[in-house]
Amino acid sequence: MRDFLSLLEKRGQLRRIKAEVNPDLELAAISDRVLGLGGPALLFENVIGSSMPVAINLLGTLERVVWSMGLKNAEELEDIGQKLALLQQPRPPKGLNETREFAGLLWDLIKARPDLDLIPPCHQKVLLEDAVNLDELPLLRPWPRDAGGVITLGLVITKDPETNVPNVGVYRLQRQTSTTMSVHWLSVRGGARHLQKAAAMGQDLEVAVAIGVHPLLVMAAATPIPIQLSEWLFAGLYAGEGVRLAKCKTVDLKVPSHSEVVLEGRITPGETIQDGPFGDHMGFYGGIEESPLIRFHCITQRRDPIFLTTFSGRPPKEEAMLAIALNRIYTPILRQQIPEIVDFFLPMEALSYKLAIISIEKSYPGQAKRAAMAFWSALPQFTYTKFVVVVDSNINVRDPRQVVWAISSQVDPQRDLFVLKDTPFDSLDFASEHIGLGGRLAIDATTKIGPEKNHQWGERLTRDKELESKIDSRWHELGLSDLKNKEPDPHLFGYVMDQLVSLQQTPCN
């Protein structure tokens, strides 16, 4: 993480805040305002109640997410997606080029293997038993009705009690006492499954929480791609080199050796406590739930550690920027599973997963409905996508003007809306009639063909390519060279909605 902070500072994307700031409400409010302005990462050096500086907003722009992965631009994210697509559904290579590509991927996997650090920086200071005090951590309380201080960007590490295969996840932890925290995870997540197995075997589950790691490791841990790779190998594939790990002091787990702070503890199956409420990514407060209680008995840390954190809420937030990057990574995987898909987009303003816009090469009637159904089942993270809009391949899915035109001109609501009722759903979605059970809507905004239409379909307005090329060649001669086509801003959905609201609020003269 310190290397990434240095990189951001060299590139003018880190601001040090020396004034005293309260981690209760104030720090998150400042960070939220800076993030909303597209501002830099922040390092709060004087946090009330703790000697640790707090780093936040490190991944507050797509550019910084790309930098964290060692890339130059967002387009390179699809190259990573190509590798993951090949790993997810490997097949024998055809021809010399594919053989080389496959051999290159195998070499990438070899380079991505984790390594053990015998003198890890995270063990520079060790606190055991009575010396453990979570009150010394600068835990944020972002929203007024939040139940307490939280850890949000810690890697929560457990392992399968039967196979010893580790799981690395990013889950919210709420401080309960000076030595305990509750962990909030869904029952389908790896940590929850490990706890279920430990309960069946009548044993405690060991837990380690690594705080202040390189953001790339956070991104790898938050990526729920169903391939048989450990998160450490997955992170190494992201980074192009293996993750350096360290053995914990009191539990049989490994953590990134460069972690700023590591908490070591255990969960006794059946021991739970009330967790929440907290502001969540939907833009509302969540409920109060019984959640597993972790008892911590050891803290290890670097000298003068830096605490890495973030907070949830209505976009834009750091988690939304991560989702935009993951969108580009998922694209090759999605194309491999659903070949007719040309491109897809998850708008940040739709929480980066509630609304999907997909474009297809349409060749037969009913194909849009098939593509929507396939999308919902393609990857686990699309299970909670509420709306799918299917458009033709010549529509730019990232340009809301084109998407809204396609919906307005190509859709008959009584024919082109397809609703799935009572499907398993996001428990944080209060719009559902029943929590955890809701409907989905697909909108077929493609050109209708064959039996999909009972009359002649309108011919789309187009110009000949020769004419367009001629105009391109004369653009400078016409004195218009300062006017260039711009790529649509991925946040343009929000901009368009803001303009519509502004127009509605402007009185007519």
DSSP-assigned letters across all residues of 238-298 = HHTSPPEEEE-SSSS-EEETT-SEEEEEEEEEEEEEEE---B-TTSSB---EEEEEEEEEE
105 found inside a domain: yes
DSSP E strands in 18-129: the ranges are: 41-44, 54-56, 115-116, 125-128
Sign of the four-CA dihedral 235, 236, 238, 241: positive
pLDDT in the model for residue 80: 76
Task: Single out the residue in 418, 435, 452 at which a domain terminates.
Answer: 452
pLDDT band at 509 (very low <50, low <70, confident <90, very high): very low
Q: Give the confidence band of 108 by pLDDT, cuts at 50, 70, 90.
A: confident
Q: Are residues 365 and 224 in the same domain?
A: no
Higher pLDDT, 468 or 326: 468
Spatial separation of the C-alpha atoms in residues 395 and 62, rounded to whole Å = 23
- Of 256-260, 441-445, 473-477, which range is least confident? 473-477
* 367 and 445 belong to one structural domain: yes
Lowest-confidence region among 147-151, 174-178, 397-401, 453-457: 453-457
Say yes or no to pLDDT of 499 above 50: no
Helix (H/G/I), strand (E/B), else coil: 155: strand
User: Looking at the domain assignment, is residue 318 inside a domain?
Assistant: no
- pLDDT digits over 284-304, tens only? 898 899 999 999 999 999 999
**244 within 8 A of 256, measured Cβ to Cβ:** yes
Contacts of 96 (CB under 8 A, 6+ apart): none
Q: What is the CATH number of the domain that holds 22?
A: 2.30.110.10
Q: pLDDT confidence of 182, banded at 50, 70, 90?
A: very high
Q: How far apart are CA 146 and CA 169, in angstroms?
A: 22
Q: Tokens 């349409």 correspond to what residue?
A: 362
Better-predicted residue by pLDDT, 337 or 413? 413
Highest mean pLDDT among 208-217, 424-433, 453-462, 493-502: 208-217
Amino acid identity, position 264: E
Host H or E run for residue 439: strand 437-445
Contact 125, 174 (CB under 8 A): no
Q: Are 301 and 342 part of one and the same domain?
A: no
State the pLDDT confidence band at 436, using cuts at 50, 70 and 90. confident
Shared domain for 374 and 252, answered yes or no, is no
Residue 326's pLDDT is what? 80
Q: What is the mean pLDDT of residues 306-335?
A: 86
- The answer to the question of residue 504 being in a domain is no
Question: At 93, is the pLDDT very low, low, confident or very high (cuts 50, 70, 90)?
Answer: low
Tens-place pLDDT, residues 38-52 = 899 999 999 999 999
Q: Please tell me the predicted confidence (pLDDT) of residue 501.
A: 44
Q: Is there a domain that residue 316 lies in?
A: no
Taking all residues of the chain, what is their mean pLDDT, rounded to a whole number? 87
The pLDDT score that the predictor gives to residue 69 is 85
- CA separation for the pair 395, 408 (Å, rounded): 13
Q: Tell me the pLDDT band of 407, cut-offs 50, 70 and 90.
A: very high
Of 308, 324, 347, the residue that ends a domain is 308
Number of domains in the chain: 2
Segment 141-148 mean pLDDT? 95
Residue 435 lies in a domain: yes
Phi, psi of 193 (to 5 degrees): -65, -40
Asked whether residue 289 falls in the same domain as residue 357, the answer is no
Q: Name the residue range of residue 206's domain.
A: 2-308
pLDDT band for 101, please (50, 70, 90 cuts). Answer: low
Predicted local confidence at residue 335, as pLDDT = 83
Residue in 399, 405, 401, 400 with CA at minimum distance from that of residue 461 = 405
Q: Could you say which of 406, 435, 452 is where a domain stops?
A: 452
Question: 489 pLDDT band (50/70/90 cuts)?
Answer: low
Residue 75 shares a structural domain with residue 148: yes
Same domain, residue pair 294 and 441: no
Instruction: Identify which has the larger pLDDT, 485 or 257.
Output: 257
pLDDT-derived band of residue 235, with 50, 70 and 90 as boundaries?
A: confident
pLDDT, mean of residues 492-498: 49
Q: What is the mean pLDDT of residues 422-439?
A: 79
Based on the domain organization, do 47 and 190 belong to the same domain? yes
Which pLDDT belongs to residue 508? Answer: 47
Known catalytic membership, residue 130? no
- Segment 135-151 mean pLDDT: 96
**Inside any domain, residue 111:** yes
Q: Which residue has the higher pLDDT, 431 or 245?
A: 245
Chain centroid, CA 502 distance in Å? 31
343: CATH = 3.40.1670.10
Give the pLDDT score at 256.
96
pLDDT at 100 over 90: no
Q: Residue 250: is it exposed, middle or buried by C-beta count within 10 angstroms (0-12/13-18/19+)?
A: middle
Q: Let me know if residue 492 belongs to a domain.
A: no
Q: Are residues 300 and 342 located together in one domain of the fold? A: no
- Of the candidates 117, 204, 280, 444, the residue annotated as catalytic is 280
| pLDDT of the residue at 102 | 64
| Percent of the chain residues topping a pLDDT of 90 | 54
Residues 271 and 342 in one domain: no
Write phi, then psi, for 423 (nearest 5 degrees).
Answer: -105, 155
Domain membership flag for residue 496: no
